[in-house]
Amino acid sequence: MLQGPSNAGLEALTFVPVADHPEGGLFYAGLQCDGKIYVFELPIVTSATDTSVVHVNTITPVAGRTDMSGLHYNTGNGVLYAIFDSSNRLVALDVAGTCLAEWDIPGNQQEGLAAFGCFLFVADDVGPAVWRYVFPFAQEDTDDDGVDNCMDLCDGFDDKVDADGDDVPDDCDNCELSNPDQNDCQPNGIGDTCDLASETSNDCDYNEYPDECDIADEPSRDSNLDGVLDECQLAVLPPQVTSGEDSARKNRYISVDPSSNGATPVAMRVTLSSMRRCGDSLDKSCSSDSDCAMAAGLCIEHPDVGTILGWVSAPNANAVSRVVGTPVFRVWPETTLHVGDCEVVPVATYQVQTTPDGALFSGPLEVGTILKPHVLWHYGDTVGIGTGALPPEPGFTPPDGIVNITDVSAYVLTAEGRTKPNAPTTWVDLHGVGDGAPPNFILNVSDLQRILFGSEGQQYTDTPGQLNPADCP
């Protein structure tokens, strides 16, 4: 009965509830080739084994019109909606098949529809695309505020009264100040914006979020349990971001300005906060699941994320520090510090915190190595475009997401000691001497080799399956 020519058979289906019907209702099926609706009863309630189908009725919505491609029954208003593809028409019917209204709809190959709230969704094969229309099905306004029930934001009150202009009607607004998000983290029935403005709640870290909710989300931020964020009690600040060329992301270094605490001795702790890898092997970097398509895995956070990696050592003459196992308390007069070690790997993010005593810590500074280059590459992006400019202009721009001959040129020109054009050593220093060795602020063939390996799409590690892509030997 529902067979038709190729690609013109059963094309639409919806269920229509019927009160007191033993099966709960009937199925309405649309046949594309003749544009008719065939009504069936199926034993979906009365039997778990019976597969019989009973034809109940045939409806012709619009005589002579074919190419029905979608059906939807809206329980809110009891109306059946049908799409006719070739004529680009949407038809409203009662359950007996009487036409109630028609509309033109855009598109070329509309193949499905559904309704939710005040919206009608139409799927189109061309694109493909899903079109959403504001469509007040019931067309009721019980509180007489000029807004249809299904779009009413504040039922029983006037939606148009909004003194603070935040698009939330006053009678349903939890704050007289503008707060379109209506956040109420406690919750106490008063928006966070008003709690902070009235000083009912504090915000000592200036993140526009009440401190008591910061502590509820992360209890470790109040280590002495006095209700005050640790960073607001400490006389120390986190390190700051560096400026100029030192602020660029690098493959094997993270750079910070540790001088924010002046003459106060502090130690700096490093934590791995993000390192996304393809879950099938954990040695291929990724920024989304699509990067892992060829690896047949999902892009997930590495199991080591959240691990405290260690402490920043005192710097050497090149302002390079290592990650060591015990805290190093000192005054940090340096305005730029490069932290490079086995634990600092490409395509990862780290948190650096200061502490005066090893117990209470400042808020974190987040700083990362290079972003994931193109899906084909995992590391080796050292520079962007080479300008070839003479002093005082820089010779190369920061990494640009591409691993190519420009990265090789940056190594060669910098290794030769060219005044210009060149790149900072920390940009092109990817490796020390020996398998898995940390960067050493010396440019040699190991660094060039790593850039070439990166351009070939190899992962950083020489040993597939190694959990840390740069484990020390």
- The burial class, CB within 10 Å (0-12 / 13-18 / 19+), for 424 is buried
CATH topology of domain 10-134: Methylamine Dehydrogenase; Chain H (2.130.10)
pLDDT along the chain (473 residues), means of 10: 74 94 95 93 92 94 92 89 91 93 84 82 81 72 80 86 92 94 94 94 88 91 84 80 91 95 94 87 80 77 90 96 95 96 91 90 92 85 68 68 88 79 88 80 90 84 41 46
Residue type, 21: H
Report the distance separating Cα 410 and Cα 282, nearest Å: 29
Pick from 205, 250, 188: which is nearest to 427 by CA? 250
**What is the CA angle 8-14-20, rounded to 5?**
140
Q: Give tens-digit pLDDT for 430-456.
A: 988 777 678 999 998 889 988 998 888
Asked if residue 277 lies in contact with residue 299, where contact means CB atoms within 8 angstroms, the answer is yes
CB atoms within 10 A of CB 387: 13
* Helices 445-455, 405-415: inter-axial angle, 10-degree rounding: 170
Report the distance separating Cα 111 and Cα 88, nearest Å: 11
**What is the CA angle 281-340-404, rounded to 5?**
65
Report the distance separating Cα 176 and Cα 162, nearest Å: 9
The beta-strand segments (E) located in 85-194 are 89-93, 99-104, 110-116, 119-124, 129-134
Q: Please state the domain extents for the chain.
A: 10-134, 174-233, 240-368
Pick from 66, 59, 141, 42: which is nearest to 94 by CA? 59
pLDDT at position 473, please? 42
pLDDT at position 28, please? 97
Q: 352 by DSSP, 3-state: which? A: strand
- The burial class, CB within 10 Å (0-12 / 13-18 / 19+), for 243 is exposed
Report the distance separating Cα 84 and Cα 66, nearest Å: 7
For residue 186, give every residue at least 6 positions away whose Cβ sits within 8 Å of its Cβ, in sequence order, or none. Answer: 195, 201, 210, 212, 213
Alpha helix ranges (H) inside 218-290: 230-233
Report the distance separating Cα 131 and Cα 111, nearest Å: 11
- Asked whether the CA dihedral 377, 380, 386, 388 is positive or negative, the reply is negative
pLDDT at position 382, please? 92
Please give the model's pTM, rounded to 2 decimal places: 0.52
Pick from 447, 467, 221, 213: which is nearest to 351 by CA? 221
pLDDT at position 374, please? 79
Report the distance separating Cα 323 and Cα 320, nearest Å: 10
